[in-house]
Amino acid sequence: MKKAMEKLAMLALCVAMSVSFAACSDDKSDDGYQVVDPTTPEAPEFTTNLISEGQYRGDYYDAGSGNILIGISDNTIVYDEETGKYVGNGKMIAISFNTATAEDPDFATLVQGKYTGNNSNTKGTFTLGGQTYVVTYKDSKATKATVTKGTITVTTYGDGVYQIEGSLVTGSGATPVHYVGKIPMYNRSFTGCMSNLTSGIELSGLKYAAIINQGTYYSDQSEYAMVGLAGDNYTLLENYGDGQCIWLGLNVSLGSTGVPSGTYSVLNSNEMGDDEDFEPFTAIDGFYYPPLDGFYGSWYYHTGAGVEAAIKSGNVTVVNKGNNQYTFTFNLKDGHGNPITGTYEGTFVYIDNKD
């Protein structure tokens, strides 16, 4: 993938997620968080004015621990799709927890216990030195403060539900931390299948569709078409929202002004070499490139449910009816073997990004 890697920064999917290290949404419903293990009735009430996200980054600091970056944000801070900035008043915090190394990086968990801030990066700590911080928004203006010390206690209640309590100290004083609720966890370790799906998905209610032709960025023998399909509560061209969305990375024939009819089989990016592997009528699987925090190829997302999945096998059948009218039928699987299927028939927005 020599030529492909040179172009990664230009072709990444900007996945829309919450808190300061990704885009947030102010549209979460209470039902989306109220999933408490019935065997733990003592679990406290959910916090209703906060949203959260976790990213498992493997042994990020080479200290023999598993690093999980947790972000928590007031839902009074809203991501503005037009400006790409946050607006409103409130706080965001990011805590770089050092916990147990995950047996399966796709389903990492934060171990309960007390975490103290320092720079040892060992288990039972959270990392300081700018890795843990507080961002305060006032009249849409952001001020970032590095955390210098603090203690956080984590309690787990099963099914991804956490209570996070404590205090973070910055040069501006102490910021109390209180969060109770479900925290979606995403694999950012560059290992595993890059999917937290636990069952198959059949996409229905797809309403929005776009084809973005990126020209010969990946190969001289084909053009790369990014095909997006989304349902309600998703702004497709901004790649933002809580609804369901699937992106398909298709290699199409040179000179195409759309996607030619045919069947596109998913390639394994780990086994690809140089340009000769990017044949027309193939699809690039989903993969993640940590140095650029970039997502490439074919992916399924449902941010409102805390789910993402790199597509690793299967095929997409396309019927091009002309005038940007298509039928797309996809029979795909993630790396765990969970099927991701669906059909969309209708009009596509076509965007020509060729050089």
CA 109 – CA 311 distance, rounded (Å): 23
CA 351 – CA 23 distance, rounded (Å): 24
Domain membership flag for residue 10: no
Domain membership flag for residue 2: no
pLDDT by residue (tens digit) across 225-258?
999 999 999 988 877 888 999 999 999 999 998 9
pLDDT by residue (tens digit) across 74-112?
888 877 767 777 888 888 999 999 999 999 999 999 999
- Residues 35 and 182 grouped into a single domain: yes
pLDDT by residue (tens digit) across 183-196?
999 999 989 999 99
Asked which of 124, 156, 187 is the last residue of a domain, the reply is 187
- Residues 150 and 178 grouped into a single domain: yes
Q: Other C-beta atoms within 10 Å of 355: how many?
A: 6
pLDDT by residue (tens digit) across 158-214?
888 999 999 999 998 999 999 999 999 999 998 999 999 999 999 999 999 999 999
Domain membership flag for residue 20: no
Domain membership flag for residue 19: no
- Residues 233 and 345 grouped into a single domain: yes
Asked which of 136, 160, 187 is the last residue of a domain, the reply is 187
| pLDDT at residue 84 in the model | 73
| pLDDT at residue 51 in the model | 77
Task: List the domain range (segments joined by +) for residue 312.
Answer: 199-352
- Residues 114 and 234 grouped into a single domain: no
Number of structural domains (the chain) is 2
The closest alpha carbon to 226, from 55, 33, 11, 7, belongs to: 11
- Residues 269 and 312 grouped into a single domain: yes
- Residues 73 and 170 grouped into a single domain: yes
Domain membership flag for residue 7: no
- Residues 41 and 134 grouped into a single domain: yes
Is the sign of the CA dihedral 12, 14, 17, 21 positive or negative? positive
CA 270 vs CA 101, 163, 170, 289: distances in Å: 24, 39, 43, 12
- Residues 171 and 247 grouped into a single domain: no
Domain membership flag for residue 85: yes
φ and ψ at residue 130, rounded to 5 degrees: 90, -10
Domain membership flag for residue 316: yes
Asked which of 158, 187, 216 is the last residue of a domain, the reply is 187
- Residues 253 and 173 grouped into a single domain: no
- Residues 183 and 208 grouped into a single domain: no
Domain membership flag for residue 8: no
Q: Which residues pair with 98 in a beta bridge?
A: 67, 125
- Residues 167 and 231 grouped into a single domain: no
Token couple for 99: 């916990």
- Residues 177 and 244 grouped into a single domain: no
